[in-house]
Structure formats: C-alpha cells, structure tokens
Amino acid sequence: MSVFTPVAPVDLQDLLVTLDLGAILRLQAITQGVQNSNYFLSTTRGDWVLTLFEHLDHAQAQIYVDLLIQLHAQGLPVVQPCHRQLFTLHDKPALLVPRSFAIPVQEPNLAQLRSLGMWLGRLHQALRTWNGPDHPRARPWRQAQAAALHPRLAVADRDLVRWAEQIDLALAATTWASGGIHADLFRDNVLWQGDQLALILDFYVAGRDALFFDLAICQHDWCRDEGGVLQPVAWSNFLQAYEQERPLSAAERDPRTQHAFAVVAALRFFLSRQHAALQPAAPGVQVKDPQVYRRILQVLRAESP
C-alpha cells in the first residue's frame, strides 16, 4: 500500500456527501505495500480505507469489488465495500471500505496458524467455481519476467532462477485442483483480534490457479524462519486445519509436490521483488527485499528430493 497518487481532502467532499459518510476529520497516506495508493480516512461518521488502483482499469478492478461483496455475503472475513460500483479519483478507479482496527501479527502462534489454515480452506471452497481471471503472476508472467531479468542478474542468481524454472515447467505438466486463490496472503494482509482471524485483506492479485500455490505462498511467510528454513510443526498445524475444509489429494500431500510448489512460489516473489529493486527509487514507494526469497530458493535447492 504505497502512495503513487496524491489525494487531498477536497477531492473527497462530493463522494462523502453521496455516501452520507460525514465530514472529513483526517486523511493519512499509508506507505506500506507496493501495488496501489492507499489512505486512512476519518470522518464524523467513522473510519475508512481509501484505495486507488494504479495498475487496473475500471473493469478489472470491479471484478475484485464484486468478489469482496460475494465473499462477504458467504460469511468470509473480508471487507464489505461502501459502494457496489467503483468511483473515479484522479482518473483512477477507487474504492472505499470500512477500516478495521484489528492488527497483523509478526510471530504467529499455532492457534493462529490453525485459524489461517481453516479460513484459507473455506476461501478455496468458496472460490472453486469463481469465474474470475487467471492469476496474473502465473507461469506465463514468470517466464517473461525471468527472461527480462536474466541479463541483469548475478551469475549465481541466473543459475538459481534457471533451476526453479525447470521445476515450474515440470509442475505445469500436471493438472492440479484449481480455483480462485488469494495469491498474496502475507502476514500484513491478515488482521487479528487475539487468536481470532478478523479480516483478510488485499485480494487485488487474486486469480484462478492451482490451489496449492496459495498454500506454498503461506508456507514461506508464515511457516519459515528468517533463514528460510521450514518449521515443520507450524506447517503441519496449518495443513491439518486447512484439510478440515478442503482435503488434499494424494498428489498434493506428496512431499515432492509440496517442494515443487514451494520452489515456484518462491520464484514468483523473488522475480517480482528483484524487478522492483532494480527500478529507480521513487519517493513514497516501498520496495521489499528479494533476499528473503533468494534464501528460500537456496534452502529449497539444498533440500531437493
């Protein structure tokens, strides 16, 4: 949630009248994140989060508004937008949602991991028949991104990416249980009240893909230590809770399958973070460290079955 597009209080006055949300008390930019421009908004009627979509047009962004409305109606812990149709702000599609004061966790405990696994299983069941777009960071994107980065990578990184791409290619040769995936379920995108999961945020790279890809993304951010080493107790608790909602196939339970998905998930985030790190620095835009996923790829390569 970086800030690419400046917004002033005067820009929101007509919208707040239309939505009957009161008068502005405070507008504060949110500097964390990398995709869209986001602001905390306080009015005389409550607290809200304003998002300007920087890389999606109205039609593309509306898909995700409709998805949030659908999931909220099914009882999933997601925000309910303040309006059914996007509005335009500074020529960008924009969305206003209620602000939650629940908080993310940095060191999840086993109860929280079980809660996360259960809710992800429910989310996947709800999205099995979702007629949304393909995951935008699926294999065609990874291929193109790796090719574009290749001349700019260190020799060791080129070798690591080539190794991961071979696993990506082999994984694509098999048909896996698929449906809508969140695709960005990091710790900062999940809010908690104690051990109770309160809200899942940021569905804006969601798309259809292999469901286990989502589990591998969670494995890296929720179940590995700072050195990239998997914590087996954390992972098993997460998986057991997930399977209460969506049992895995025998192939998905195979350690070789889980290793392959872990490689591809790490490749996806190494490529996107490395690309961002090589761009000229821009004020107000957060760049996340690709070293996190370089370490995970190195660990996975050393553990190759």
pLDDT value of residue 280: 77
Long-range residue pairs from 57-65, CB within 8 A, at least 24 positions apart, any chain:
57/93, 58/86, 58/88, 58/93, 60/133, 61/86, 61/93, 61/95, 61/204, 62/86, 62/93, 63/132, 63/133, 64/203, 64/204, 64/206, 65/95
Please choose, from the candidates 72, 78, 97, the residue with its C-alpha nearest in 3D space to the C-alpha of residue 201: 78
pLDDT at 174: 96
CB atoms within 10 A of CB 94: 25
| Domain 9-98: CATH architecture, name and number where available | 2-Layer Sandwich (3.30)
Q: Where in the chain is the domain with CATH 3.30.200.20?
A: 9-98
CATH 3.90.1200.10 residue window(s) in the chain = 110-302
Mean pLDDT for back-to-back runs of 10 residues, the chain (305 residues): 81 93 95 81 96 94 96 96 94 96 97 98 97 96 97 96 98 97 97 97 96 98 97 98 98 98 98 91 72 98 94
Which CA distances in Å does 86 have to 18, 134, 174?
13, 22, 38
Assign a CATH topology to domain 110-302: Aminoglycoside 3'-phosphotransferase; Chain: A, domain 2 (3.90.1200)
